[in-house]
A and B are shown apart, each in its own frame.
Chain A
């Protein structure tokens, strides 16, 4: 049993979205025009960092499924064991 993680996960994922957005923006900026060498290299490094960060966020994640149960105060979670019986039912 464990508690629902707070907003950390949300912000993490928002970071993925933001990182991907920033990555796309960086690529566009690079391709848009003639940047001074220093800027180009800085943007290149930033872009590659974002690529790595995005990949990590996508690849490192393990698929986690939990069952949420109402408790006396709030809720509790427990790992969800998929029921392979009764799969033919419609519910």
Chain B
């Protein structure tokens, strides 16, 4: 019922409520809850996380703000609360407006343009810090620089960073640095603070001083997400003074490592180079031509030595070939020579001679044989032959009368008995007929 009334009442739809923030809480959800109070009343306010992100300042207890939104009933508690869509600091409203207006104005003027930005020197010899001489910011920067890059000469240009005179002092400090050529680069900044405290860095005079500086300016305002006009104008924006000190100069240790690395590369190179050249030199000095000038000649000698036996062999082969041919020709010639025929004729002749001789011999032998046979036949017929067989020829002792019958002789007769090898003188002692036997 109440909810409907509230929701449908047009005068409750879009409200602006002014008051002081108290009991601020920020749960993990990201929503922000607080109580807005003034002398007479208090109102529970919630700003949802999606809206919180759009706020240009940080809500804090005790801060005077104006919230815009609508009232609704939180049914579970039977309570009503204010659902704020935007909030802005009360009392700084004009300041805030001024900030937005200046920002837009300078932006249109081109002071934030990227092409206006100067690049930082890589190795600054002198660094100026335009900041409060007392406080965390200058201490953080000095310590960081002494640690990372003690080579740089640091000049602190002390200025008030909050209060009425801050903007003038900061602008003057910037000018002092570049007009006196104190440094190669400067850091302008302070620690974080409220919008009010950061006011000087949102002033036009500081913005113009930064823009006018011919030496690069790093802005380093606050550790929170506040972006000041100075940040927009500066050549480089650092989130914190420490970050600015890290940006402004290189790390000496890294530089030394880099130089050591380069030195190592040079040494490695020269070592390799010398090694390579030594090897080349060694190759050259060890080359046969230099080591042994006679080498080439030796090689030629060797070739000659190798060729010579081949040549000899060839010569030998040629001669032998010739000899062979000659021999063969000789042989062939010999085969056709008349000597052969002569020899053959000789042989033939010899053969004929032999034949003739043998013929003669045969004939002689035959003749001899015939003679022998004839002789034998004759011998058979001769009385001597008979006598050889034991027969003898008897003659009368006186005369040549051959006694051929017993009747021709008388006892007492002398007989001459002829034998082949001699003769006997015999006297007949008896004469007998064939059938008479001595008694």
Contact = CB atoms under 8 A, between A and B. Distances in A.
Interface of A: 4-5, 7, 9-10, 12-14, 16-17, 20, 23-24, 26-27, 30-31, 35, 37, 40-41, 44, 47-48, 51, 54-55, 57-59, 61-70, 74-75, 77, 80, 82-91
A51 to B, nearest CB: 4
A67 B265 contact: no
Given A10-B184, A61-B150, A91-B135, A77 B265 contact: no
A79 B151 CA distance: 16
A58 B125 contact: no
B47 interface: no
Given A48-B266, A75-B176, A75-B182, 14 more contacts: A4-B182, A13-B125, A26-B266, A30-B265, A31-B265, A54-B259, A58-B151, A67-B155, A67-B156, A83-B133, A84-B139, A87-B136, A90-B135, A91-B190
Interface stretch (B157-165, B293-301, B325-333): B157-165
B71 interface: no
A9 B156 contact: no
Given A75-B176, A86-B135, A89-B134, A51 B262 contact: yes
Interface string B125-167: 1101000111111110010011000110111111011100000
A45 B382 CA distance: 157
Nearest to B157: A68
B266 A51 contact: yes
Secondary structure of the B contact surface, majority rule: mixed
B252 interface: yes
A89 B145 contact: no
B151 A65 contact: no
B192 interface: yes
Contacts of A51: 259, 262-263, 266
Contacts of A24: 262
Contact of B259 (A13, A23, A35): A23
Contacts of B121: 13, 17
Interface of B: 121-126, 128, 132-139, 142, 145-146, 150-151, 153-158, 160-162, 172, 176-177, 180-182, 184, 190-193, 197, 252, 255-256, 258-259, 262-263, 265-266, 269-270, 273, 277
Contacts, number: 155
A12 B184 CA distance: 12
A30 B266 contact: yes
A40 B270 contact: yes
B276 to A, nearest CB: 9
Contacts of A58: 151, 252, 255-256, 259
Contact of A86 (B134, B146, B154, B192): B134
Nearest to B261: A27
Contacts of A68: 128, 155-158, 176-177, 180, 182
Contacts of B142: 65, 80, 82
Nearest to A12: B125
A30 B269 CA distance: 7
Contacts of B123: 13, 16-17, 20
- Name the 5 nearest CB pairs between A and B, nearest first: A13-B125, A63-B150, A61-B151, A90-B191, A83-B134
Contact of B191 (A10, A16, A91): A91
A41 B274 CA distance: 9
Contact of A9 (B125, B180, B262): B125
A43 B197 CA distance: 57
Nearest to B123: A17
Contact of B176 (A64, A70, A87): A70
Contacts of B157: 68
Contact of B262 (A13, A27, A64, A86): A27
Nearest to B143: A82
